[in-house]
Amino acid sequence: MLTVAMVGMGWHSWLFREEMKALLGDISILHPRIVSYDIGREEISKLSGAALLDEVLILGGHSMFPESPELQNSLCRTIGEWAIQNFEGDDFAVRTRKIGELPDTISSRSFEDRVGRVVSSNGIRVNLESPSNEIVIIIAGSNDGDTHPEPFEFGETMVVWGLRVKDWSKESFSGRSPTERPYFKPISLEPRQARLLISLSRVPDREIKAVVDPFCGTGGIAIEAVLQDIRALASDLDSRMVEGTKENLKWLGKECVVKKWDASDLSALWGEREGCSFVFDPPYGRSSWRSADSLDIFLSVLKEAKKIDAEGVVSTMLPAGPEALNSGNNDDIIVMGKKWSELLSIIQEIGWNVHLFCPVRVHRSLVRAIVVCHPAD
């Protein structure tokens, strides 16, 4: 069993932590963008498909940033000596990175040099090109500069160190952005966001047997599902979207079931199933919503999802007012044209508990709320 530190991207630290919780279960928070978890080597592959995970380290330790040069030297000796005891191979490199808000006086290069001297003085060769061991030192500052809501406040400076995990690879989303696919519409969801919605629908020890997307659009969610070897059940009321999704899947050498269908009657299409994640980006305001009231369609999908799999999970993005980014009280936030407190009550009446409500800035005043629903007890 290894204790690993996982470092998130800077885009949305709260959602990074939620993704790690969904994938792994209980995690320890070291910093808004760094969490730790005890994991077996065979389980590390679970992390390869994560949307917001930037780096995985075998955790060596962490401490508050030492102010005095003497204490900094002592910390560098501790890091170097720990690394030597945990090396595999005969050469090394030291990498440092800064995250968060930090004063300009902190030198990452100084840490690299001092730790490097400790290790090389023990006869271990430096190899900056292809080292068998990479010591990673992260100097992490406050999260005061976050542009998204952040429930975990952190105003200190800390140092986290470890060895980069060799058998983990960061998910690459290059080559399949919406504009690179053969069928493109401006409504297309970015691959990383689609992957994140799928990740957030996970529950530890629950296998996702199917991702159901009743508003498949150009196929972004279906693509990210099949790339993880998860069955995708996609549909849309717009026949052009149905054909476009098929075209995009074929372009990637993948396929799934894609049907032209009214989302308000979804259970008639898919029947009863187990292990479903209902993952969708509602086409708010688009003509493909047959009802003039898009809220009614959304609520009907929640009811249909219950009929298909009462133990499933819903993961979606809903349009919200710009006040969602700054409000300390979610109740009065406008979501799909309705106060969140009122919409929440309706969702609960249908039989869902809201597990996560997290605002996301799309651009300028355009805000979406990521909402994840678990079955009501």
Summarize pLDDT for 274-283 with one digit per residue, the tens: 999 999 998 7
Q: In what order do the strands lie in the sheet with 2-8?
A: 28-31, 34-39, 2-8, 53-64, 158-164, 134-140, 91-99, 125-126
Average pLDDT of 225-251?
97
pLDDT of 38 reads: 95
Break the chain into its structural domains and give their ranges: 2-164, 178-375
Q: Which two tokens stand for residue 111?
A: 């840490």
Summarize pLDDT for 343-361 with one digit per residue, the tens: 999 999 999 999 999 999 8
Average pLDDT score over the chain: 92
Summarize pLDDT for 51-103 with one digit per residue, the tens: 999 999 999 999 999 989 999 999 999 999 999 999 998 999 999 999 988 88
Same fold, 2-164 and 178-375: no
pTM of the model: 0.94
* Distance separating alpha carbons of residues 167 and 221, to the nearest angstrom: 27
Residue range 2-164 in CATH 3.40.228.10: no
CA distances from 184 to 107, 181, 329 (A): 45, 6, 37
Summarize pLDDT for 282-309 with one digit per residue, the tens: 876 543 333 346 888 999 999 999 999 9
Residue for token digits 């780096």? 55
Residues with Cβ within 8 Å of residue 95, at least 6 apart in sequence: 112, 134, 135, 136, 137, 164
* Distance separating alpha carbons of residues 20 and 33, to the nearest angstrom: 11
Residue 178 has pLDDT above 80, yes or no: yes
Average pLDDT of 311-338?
88
- Please give the CATH number for the structural domain made up of 178-375: 3.40.50.150
pLDDT of 365 reads: 67
DSSP string over 3-60: EEEEEE-SS-HHHHHHHHHHHHSS-EEEETTEEEEEE-GGGGGGGTT-SSEEEEEEEE
